[in-house]
Structure 1
Amino acid sequence: MRTAASALLTAVSDEVRQKVRLPFADGQRRWIEYVPMSRPGASLCELGTDGRKLAHRLLATALSPAAYAQAMAVMALEEVLDRAENWRRGRRSDDYSVVLFGGPDEGDMWGWRFEGHHLSVSMTLEGDRVAPTPVFLGANPARMGHAGAMVLRPLAPEEDVARALLAELEPKHRSAAIVADEPPPDIRSGRRADLDPDLRAAGVAASDLPPRARELMWRLLHVYLGRLPADLAAAETARIDLGRLHFAWEGSTEPGGRHYYRVQSPDLLIEYDNQDDGGNHAHTVLRRPGADFGDDILAEHRATSHA
């Protein structure tokens, strides 16, 4: 990440560099915004050909190959959505921005974000420590078919593994897992930097499940942790209290229906919501309560510096 970020800063003009690089203390660092709007940083179209490629290389340091492919599909869908809206909104696949907070050459805490409609990836670093959340991916449309076959489903694993888990549940566990007949209008964490403390684990506990269902719960967990490169995914897995995971489902249980689920423990929040456009507009997020935006690393850093 340091190498990729430094290369990006070197490649762009002074004017663009001033937009790309902000102080680490800037209030916009703790930010997740996945709707089309003005955002800090420089957009891909401002970076030029070389800068745009280097921004993609920076993004690729934060994502596994599969998640990077998902992110590219999400960005390309902006053109598909623009066509479906008869070009009224002027959506563009280059309307994504990159911003650094602090810098990779300062030997202190720094961070960066790559963000636009339906994509927000935030990384915070101190030395070789990386806080790799939040990671948000959305898709509109969530699925596109033709001639009875699926053309594109960027978030297929996120839906399919969860449905497999729901189908595997015994009646008593299924009853505990399904907590509402209607899904919420969006993921409950929304676009808030600070998670709602009242958003607590619900549904069925992983510790109550039989082996096959528990295995599917772990698979679903790793769909989301697998968005990260293998070393980061392993480090995040080691920090999670697997014994306190819960799985909750809301809305339709039929394929194509409007639905929502979340996987949650005190130190993990995974959400999936697909209720808009008749169940064809998905939002998903991986978050770490208390550790998003490097909050835990920053607290340790401040304590050490103060001492």
Structure 2
Amino acid sequence: MDFLNALTDAQRQAAQHPFADPRRLQWTYLPGARPGVPLLGLPAAARKAAHRLLASVLTRHAFAQAVTVMAMEEVIDLDEGGRRGRHSDDYYLAVFGDPASPAWAWRFEGHHLSVTTTYVDGRRVVGPVFIGARPVSVLYGTAPVIRPLPLEEDLARALLAALTPAQRSIAVVDATAPDDILTGDATEVTELSPPGVRAADLGHTARDLLTRLASVYADRLDPAVRPALSDLSFAWAGPTARGLGHYYRIQGADLVIEYDNTQDGATHAHSVLRRPGADFGATLLAEHLSRS
């Protein structure tokens, strides 16, 4: 792996851990230290290799979202007057196992960004994939200058507007949005209840918008590792007016998507793509063990 080869012995020791290390399954989108080696202090070749590794599983636009989120740490630090010492290099890359072995993984992670990729017998699965934004937009007057997660909000609102009153009564599952995504940093996720309104019960326009919204998340990933978009459902919580705290989720046969923007006066968004039963390579590992 180019990244490991670009590190000093001390940096490689900080970056690489056994595949059986329980921290492989312990991820977080909160600020703070985590397993791996931080980008801060790495030579240019290692930093570039870390970015290339992240870009190897993300599409170009998703990689742009990721590096924008990293840069936004400087904006948050400016807004906080430097009290917490945030910086755009406070992101870590951890490798679990040996890339030459049948099973290994890596995680690129820091505040508002976490991407885990697991390889088993030459196959790979990417998940969890978390991208957050604070603030959700930087404005010049009323015009957005930077808005890391635009489609994630706009398409959801367009979908709500396309629902009939009866469909909306099913889709809106709570008048109050939760404080954060419900799955949090759980290792495993299952279907959330209630599922909301199902794609099969929608008209053509609304069904197309739901597929487009789910695709925003699925298309963050390289085509070879995207989840299937089947049996979709959509649920919303909170008021529907802009500027107020809101939440939605999309579920399907192979995914759970959540979006929450309630914190800091609805200027702080979290979004995540989970793969029930497959995150962290769970399905691939089970198949590997059964063959072994």
d(CA) in 2 for partners of 1:31, 1:63: 21
5 Å matches for 1:60-79? 60-79=55-74
Question: Contact 2:191 / 2:251 at 8 angstroms: preserved in 1?
Answer: no
Unaligned 5+ runs, structure 2: none
Q: What letter corresponds to residue 209 of structure 1 in structure 2?
A: L
5 Å matches for 1:214-225? 214-225=207-218
Which stretch shows the higher mean deviation, 215-224 or 198-207? 198-207
Per-residue deviation, 1:217: 0.7
5 Å matches for 1:128-147? 128-147=122-141
> CA RMSD of the aligned region, Å?
1.2
Q: What letter corresponds to residue 85 of structure 2 in structure 1?
A: G
1:151 aligned partner: 145
Unaligned 5+ runs, structure 1: 1-5
2:220 counterpart of 1:227: yes
Per-residue deviation, 1:198: 6.9
2:252 counterpart of 1:265: yes
Per-residue deviation, 1:46: 3.5
Per-residue deviation, 1:201: 4.6
User: Alpha carbons of 1:133 and 1:198: their partners in 2 closer, same or farther (altered >3 Å)?
Assistant: closer
Question: Contact 2:65 / 2:148 at 8 angstroms: preserved in 1?
Answer: yes
5 Å matches for 1:279-298? 279-298=266-285
TM-score by length of 2: 0.97
Per-residue deviation, 1:44: 0.1
d(CA) in 1 for partners of 2:187, 2:104: 17
d(CA) in 2 for partners of 1:198, 1:227: 21
State the 4+ residue runs in structure 1 displaced beyond 3 angstroms.
none
Cα deviation code 1:103-138 (max 9, x no counterpart) = 2222x1111000000000000012331111110000
Per-residue deviation, 1:186: 0.4
1:14 aligned partner: 9
Of residues 207, 210, 219, the one that matches 2:200 is: 207
Cα deviation code 1:7-33 (max 9, x no counterpart) = 111111011111111111110111220
d(CA) in 2 for partners of 1:208, 1:279: 30
Q: Normalized per residue, which structure has more helix?
A: 1
1:175 aligned partner: 169
Of residues 51, 54, 57, the one that matches 2:49 is: 54
d(CA) in 1 for partners of 2:121, 2:17: 19
1:98 aligned partner: 93
TM-score by length of 1: 0.92
d(CA) in 2 for partners of 1:103, 1:222: 33
d(CA) in 1 for partners of 2:149, 2:26: 23
